Amino acid sequence: MLEIRNVSKYYDGQLLLNNISLTVADEETICLLGPSGGGKSTLLRIIAGLEEMECGQVFWDGQDLADVPPHARAFGLMFQDYALFPHMTVNQNIAFGLRMQGMDRAQISQRVEEALQMVDLRGFGARKVFDLSGGEQQRVALARALLPHPRLLMLDEPLGALDRTLREQLGSDLRRVLSQMKIPVIYVTHDQEEAFAIADRLLVLHEGHIVQSGTPQQIFRQPDTLWLAAFFGQKNHLPGKVLHLQPMTVETALGRFICENRQKEFLIDQSVTLVLPNSAAKTGGQGQNSVLGRVQHVRFQGIGFMIDFVMQDGSSMSFFFDRALQVGQEISLSFQPQSILCYA
């Protein structure tokens, strides 16, 4: 089991990681999700021992790793740009970890052959790594990281450098391979869909903090903060004031809303921001929990339509429908009290 306690790291005088603590259970796959440049890769390098931290500790099964150099930690790390050794063939790259362990040649070549098979690269062994396509390089990097049987595997944006179709295909291959490995995995990405697909547990990193952790469904349905809601694409924000507490009623420029989805307690007259979920709008309805909007723009998105509205107060909001609406049409939209999120 991996545990990190109170890790802080400055970069260029700014606090990049602020007092981060987390654990990864055996056989658990956690996913660190966050915007680019948020210190996710740095955290991986700190765990690997490649980078120093201002304070904090890294433990493996209760042992403090401060004095264990990176090459003795047996933590595998797959780099975003793969970091394949340009002067070695595919075989030599994959075999590197086993050679460092001092395994004998015959055994190495057998294991390398198995690894090539696992990542679908049989017959590629003698190639130079720069003759490979991006997807092939990615699989070599994966095989290289996995072959020495690390006790922890870290993947830094493993699909980040690939184009969309390749990403989907290799993503499912990656899930298959990881599920066979039975080791703890830390997966870093800035892509939500990727994170949702792979994570047992999701940790969102923002401005040096882990802002929320939980299963993908929990985090997506009930983001803890307004920033998180926006991060997951919920951008229909509506400021207002608390009118009643039972039931919780909020007065806004677009009318009154009752929301029952509360994370915490609020006070009467407190300023709050409501988030109207973009996927839960129903047409029709009047009075409380309904708003009037004029269709401004219709964007086809494959499985449905994202429709931009201009609201009564002149603000813009977007909602998802399974059918197209006519531009210029005035429509009333209503929301279930349970679906509206409320933040201080």
Partner 1 sequence: MAAIDAAIMLRRKSTLIYSALWLLPLAFLLVFYFYPLGTIIVVSIARWLQEGLGGWNAEIIQRAIGFTFYQAGLSTLLTLLLGIPAAWLFSHFQFKGKQFLRVAATLPFILPTVVVAAGFNALIGQRGWLNLILMEIFNLSQPPIAIQNSLFAILLAHVFYNISIVIRVISAAWEQADERLENAARTLGAKPARVLWEITMPLLLPSILAAFLLVFLFDFTSFGVILMMGGPRFTTLEVEIYIQTMHFLNLPLASLLALIQLAFSMLITSAIMSTGRTVMVPIMPKVKEDNLKKPHKFSEKVIISAISVAMGCILLLPLLALAARSLLVQESIPEGSNASGWHFSLTYFQQLFNNPRQSIFYVAPIQALRNSLGYALSASCLSLTLGLMLAGASRTHHLFRRVLNWLVMLPLGTSAVTFGLGLFLAFGLQANAPNWYPFLIPLAHALIGLPFVLRLVEPALHAIPQNLHWAAQTLGAAPRQIWRQIDLPIIWRAALTALVYAFAISLGEFGATSFLSRPDIPTLPIAIYRYLNLPGGSNYGQAMAMAVILLFVCAAGLIIVDHLQLNHVNQPSTQEMNDNA
Name the site residues for partner 1 (rule: CB under 8 A).
45, 48-50, 52-53, 55-57, 64, 66-67, 69-77, 79, 81-88, 96-97, 100-101, 129-130, 134, 137-138, 144-145, 148, 150, 161
Kindly tell me which of 75 and 319 has the beta carbon lying closer to partner 1.
Answer: 75
Least separation, in Å, of the C-beta of 110 and partner 1?
A: 18
50 or 295, CB closer to partner 1? 50
| CA–CA distance, 152 with 27 (Å, rounded to integer) | 9
| CB of 315 vs partner 1, minimal distance in Å | 43
Q: Which residues fall within 8 angstroms of residue 150, CB to CB, at 6 or more apart?
A: 74, 75, 76, 183
- Least gap, CB of 61 to partner 1 (angstroms): 17
CA neighbor of 215 nearest in space, from 25, 29, 18, 44:
29
Rounded to a whole number, what is the distance in angstroms from the first to the last CA of the chain? 37
CA distance 133 to 251: 57
Cβ neighbors of 174 (< 8 A, separation 6 or more) are 142, 155, 158, 159, 198
C-beta closer to partner 1: residue 118 or 238:
118
- Smallest distance, Å, CB 152 to partner 1? 10
Backbone torsions φ then ψ of 266, nearest 5 degrees: -120, 170
Reduced 3-state DSSP string for 211-223: EEEECHHHHHHCC
Toward partner 1, which CB reaches closer, 81 or 330? Answer: 81
Q: Which of residues 79 and 320 has its CB atom nearest to partner 1 in the complex?
A: 79
Neighbouring-strand partners of residue 33 = 189, 204
Nearer CB in complex with partner 1: 102/314: 102
CB of 272 to partner 1, least distance (A): 42
Shortest spacing between CB 30 and partner 1, in angstroms:
18
